[in-house]
Structure 1
Amino acid sequence: MIPLALLIALAQLGWLLSDRGGAVWIGFPIDDAWIHLDYVRGLLRDGLPTYNPGVPEAGFSSPLWLFAVMPFHLAGEALGLPPAVGVKFASWLFGLLTALSLGTLAGRLSGSKWAARLTAALPLLHPDFTFSMLSGMEVTLAAWLVMLTLSASQDERVGRCGFYAALAMLARPEAAMVPLLLAPFILIAAPRGEGGKRLVALFAPSLLLGLGWIGYTLWATGYPLPSTFLIKSSPWISLGERAGDLLLYWRVLLPRDGLDVLISSTLLFAVGMTALWRRVGWQTTGAMLIVLLGSVVATGLTRSLSLGYYVERYFHPFIPLALLFVGIGGWAAARAVASRIDNRPLRHTVAVLVALIALAPRLPDWWLTARLYQDYCLHTHWLHALLAQRLAERAPADAVIAVEGAGAMRYFADRPIIDLVGLNDHRLVRATRSPAGLTGLSDLPATHAPEHAMKVLCAMRERGASLAAVPDEWGPTLLRGFKMQRMDIAHVDHWAIAGYSGPRTVSVFTLAARPELAAACAHSAAAEASEKRIDAKSD
């Protein structure tokens, strides 16, 4: 199991090292990875996860990742490496641990060391999971903890299962579904009179850690959930509205390069499910299947796949679980083909070859993903990191910067930041949150939501925003309250990060509040206070 998976993982790391000095080496594929480093730096500086110095925030939904990545970040700094390198190594390492844990579980369930070896290699051959392994994001940590949770459930070590499940929830909140979906199967398998104790052991760690996390977010922001979840999620989307996305969810989970590979992977999934059912029974097979499907559907109810990797990553922690069925199915199919051969060594060789042909995604898809990863890193570097570095050199020391992309700008510019989207500024959550789950004023034009725009403009005025680093589509909204003059610009012709390819321009503007903004803000504040009094009386 270890040699094949390790060789593939080392090849991935070699590809990363081959770009030393380029954007793949020094940058992240999305700006959110820089946000995590902003909070890591806040932990080291203030002893709390602060975004701006001294101001606790909850602009992250993976508190465990902050602590997990901190030693890698510090080690990278000590070695003089770019900030992204240590973090990418951490996500790569947790991806490798995920693959090895998956192989161990596959070997135990199938009873075959060859099935274990091949299944362990699948996440490392899956283009999307490979993307996550080198993303510097928390996806692989969550995936590893989900694997540990499922392995512990098979050992009937319910206390350990609950502990891993709680950690997985702190790595990605979508993993909170895992113990809920496992609970019926653990209860069925419990000896008479032990069911209650096992449920307590399963849920107690998640309840304790979850309440601690909720307590922190309430204390820091006044909301029971992280700002990032409140802004990004769309909890009002119905299952019926999401039905059309079910095939898209499936395409995220399984290796694919066109419909033919998707169909073959789905068939192998079905073969693996049948093989597991025959070997270990319906309870184990059903538990794995329900955890997979339930977690993916629950995640899909609050997410949209229209934004490329930016949103697809929320589904990626469950890719290895889907590949568990595919890997065992591939090995079962290979054994069936090779069973006609009498020579044992030849039979094993043929089985391995058939399994590799059946399971490995096609190279064009892998190389396409590698190119897409490079584009993501380049675009994030040009539009966020390089612009922030130039701004750090040119901006006054007392500048306050209003931004849409709040990660690299905070890390490199090292000035107070107003996050206009509200992800890292709980005071703006109500201004940017909408029932449709839209994020930012770029999704809420002033003509459609003037009250949202006014709250943001007044917050900028109140906090003395003197610069803005925003995409150009924000211009009409900001011009309502400020005189603006462009001082820097960053542009890419084909911006792929949001799931589509098109031009993207981010500009830095100097800001001067218009005289009439003060009166407009006073009027807005009076109207809001009046609404609160009316609401209080009606209650």
Structure 2
Amino acid sequence: MASEKAESSLDFTVERYIEAIIPKKAHGLILSLAGVCALFSVILIHQRNRLGFIGLPLDDSWIHLSIARNFISGDGFGINPGRNLAASTAPLWTLFEAIVMLIVRDPVWCGVVSGFLASLAGCLVLWRFFSPLNYPLLFGFVSICYLLSDALTVWGFPSGMEIPLLYAFMFSLFWTYCFYPPLSMARLFLAPLLHGAVFMTRPETGFLFGLTLISTAFAAVKAKKSPLKVASIQLCVFALSLLPYFWFNFETVGKPFPTTFYAKVSLRHIGLSGLFLKLSWDSFVKVFALHPLQEYFRVIRYITLYHLPMVFFSPLGALFLSKRRDIYAGGGLMPSLGFLLFPLVVGVVSPTSAFSNAVHRYYAVYIPFIVILGSLGIYAAVELFGRKAFVFVLAVLLVFYSAPRRFNAGLHELTRNVLTAKELYVDMAKWLSKNLPQESLLAVNDIGAVSYYLRRPVIDIMGLASPEVWDYKKRALRHRMESKLKGFLKKMRVDYLLVNPNYYPYMLKLLKNCTEIKRWHTSVPIKRLISPQVLYKCVWR
């Protein structure tokens, strides 16, 4: 009797009580809803108590809202009203916010509610992923709690950015890939559709589809079927899912990707675009060796700081996915290799070191890999060591030892960013909407909140909303580029210029007839060149 009790692995009395009170089918919904509600309540109450208001952390959040508002108002799908322009690299998130905005008109609450709904969907799919295991309540609880305590989750879910939708799509993709055999209808048709959805939320994830094609081809060879035929089916479905995306990009931008990619990556000669600028052996080594290795070390540093125990369990999780085909028929090639190869791909295409705008958000794509593989690794450890309850408890303690630090880091960063965005962008945009002459033309470097509140065309010298500025920023030294940019502003007869003077020092020296009108500062010390924002009145001769 004592032996049976000792060997009764995780059959805890608490779980029995929960199953007696709540129907088993409702466990995932109730746990996910409770977790997401608790997370958002803590975040919003903290913002209200510390700042006195609820806000969004980035000017980029307002870009999504501006496009969404224009779209539902019939003013086109673009940042400036009346102009269709593919600007967002996450158009599915923008469309999702547009749907929510039909009901929730307040822009900040639209971003928060959109994040809440996408977060809930992601947690539900994550729960579903662990449902076939023994004791799904416990392991579903562990995975959801770990996800919701992560710093990037705390920062990203209420941010008005695409992170919660990215998680929901990636969890759905992993579920489809791992649960269904490689040659099943779900893998041939549903998985490519989900790959397309993930791509339209974070484009650098496109290489994951290549791993799916490889695993399908191997399965076809084993089954003595044509690998070309089954891979072609997946490729066609994937291409069809992306057809509207690329059609809209070519129709409005004349290029395959949105303006954001060219303004932030291509024009700055980051990654592969830098290689095409100057073909040399040094450039080749830098793009294909140095940058990927640097990206790998940055990612390792980040996950070591916040996720070391979960990464420790990840190899066990990958092994479990590969060996337990009775549960996960699809195996674990794509999630496991994707986790290993992703930093190399990002390092080649667009290394995160080139960005300064809340750069930590670009690591969000690794969290679904860590949560899935790490949680499965805990389960595998429990199975391996005789299903003892103390093994489970030990594993959970190891995983959650840094949870308060992760949560507080995300909450602190979110609060700082929300305050900065309000002081620099939202307050500034509201002032401009009340005081700027209606017929005047304004040029800005950060267009998000300004475009939302002004509700009229604005020149974007960054190039997201005004791709015509690209020709003035191509292949030039910094002072030469700013001189050409000054010529562009004169050509457009800009009445007002809103920039950080430290970001365009040469251009402002050339604009001798500009008069400073007002400036906005942030009370939070920051390293980026966004504070102060200064409004100039331009006079052209």
Q: Would the TM-score normalized by the shorter structure come out above 0.5?
A: yes
Return the offset for 1:433: 4.9
Deviation at 1:283, TM superposition (A): 7.0
User: What is the aligned partner in structure 2 of residue 274 from structure 1?
Assistant: 319
> SS of the residue aligned with 2:420?
helix
Matched, 1:240 2:256: no
Q: Structure 1 residue 503: deviation in Å?
A: 8.4
Where does structure 2 lack aligned partners over 5 or more consecutive residues?
A: 1-26, 273-285
Query: Which SS does the other structure have where 1:315 is aligned?
Result: helix
Q: Determine helix, strand or coil for the equivalent of 2:427.
A: helix
1:511 aligns with 2:541: no
Aligned mates of 2:492, 2:357 — CA distance in 1 = 33
TM norm structure 2 = 0.81
Equivalent residue, structure 1, for 2:68: 40
Q: Does 1:92 align with 2:116?
A: yes
1:331-355 per-position Cα deviation (integer Å, ceiling 9, x unaligned): 3335556745xxxxxx3xx455333
Q: Does the C-alpha gap of structure 1 residues 46 and 491 become closer, same or farther in structure 2, counting only changes over 3 Å?
A: same
Give the TM-score of the pair, scaled to structure 1: 0.82
User: Of 367, 379, 401, which aligns to 1:319?
Assistant: 367
Given candidates 448, 460, 469, the residue that maps to 1:407 is 448
Out of 484, 489, 512, the position equivalent to 2:519 is: 489
Alignment partner for residue 438 of structure 2, among 379, 393, 397?
A: 397
Equivalent-residue separation in structure 2 for 1:486 and 1:10 (angstroms): 46
Deviation per residue, 1:188-220 (Å, 9 max, x gap):
223433533432332223312434322322221
Q: Once the two structures are superposed, what CA deviation does each residue of 1:444-491 show, in whole Å capped at 9, x if it has no partner? A: 631xxx1x2233222222222111111121244133145221211111
> How far off its partner does 1:378 sit?
0.6
State the 1:393 CA deviation.
Answer: 1.2
What CA deviation, in whole Å up to 9, does each residue of 1:13-49 have, x standing for no partner?
1124424598685421111110111211222234531
- Aligned-pair identity in percent equals 18
Deviation at 1:231, TM superposition (A): 2.2
Partner of 1:238: helix, strand, or coil? helix
Distance 2:345 2:508 in 1: 37
Q: State the match for 1:219 in structure 2.
A: 251
1:203 aligns with 2:235: yes
After superposing the two structures, state which structure 1 stretch, 396-405 or 174-183, moved more: 174-183
* More divergent stretch after superposition (311-320 vs 171-180): 311-320
Q: State how 1:334-483 maps to structure 2 within 5 Å.
A: 334=382, 339=387, 347=389, 350-360=390-400, 361-433=402-474, 445-446=478-479, 450=480, 452-473=481-502, 474-483=504-513
Could you give the per-residue CA deviations for residues 86-137 of structure 1, whole angstroms, max 9, x where no partner exists?
A: 22221232123223322322444x5551333322332112111221111111
2:48 and 2:99 mapped to 1: Cα distance? 22
- The 5 Å alignment of 1:129-148 reads 129-148=153-172
Q: Which of 345, 355, 360 is the matching residue for 1:298?
A: 345
Report SS of the residue matched to 1:472: coil
Report if the CA contact (8 A) 1:421-1:432 is conserved: no
Secondary structure of 2:85's aligned partner: coil
What is the rounded CA distance, in whole Å, between the counterparts of 1:263 and 1:147 in structure 2? 21
Contact map agreement 2:483 2:507 (CA 8 A) in 1: no
Q: Look up the match of 1:519.
A: none
SS in 2 for 1:97: helix
- Select 1:63's aligned residue among 75, 91, 102: 91
User: How far apart, CA to CA, are the structure 1 residues paired with 2:36 and 2:411?
Assistant: 14
Q: Which amino acid aligns with 1:276?
A: L
Structure 1 residue 75 corresponds to structure 2 residue 122: no
The residue number in structure 2 matching 1:171 is 201
Cα root mean square deviation, aligned: 2.8
User: How far apart are 1:71 and its partner, in Å?
Assistant: 2.0
AA of the residue aligned to 1:105: F
| SS across alignment from 1:512 | coil
CA contact (8 A) 1:99 1:320 kept: no
Q: 1: distance between equivalents of 2:346 and 2:52?
A: 29
Q: Which moved more, 1:270-279 or 1:329-338?
A: 329-338
| Secondary structure of 1:456's aligned partner | helix
Q: 1:284 to 1:220 in 2, by over 3 A?
A: same
Shift of 1:417: 1.0
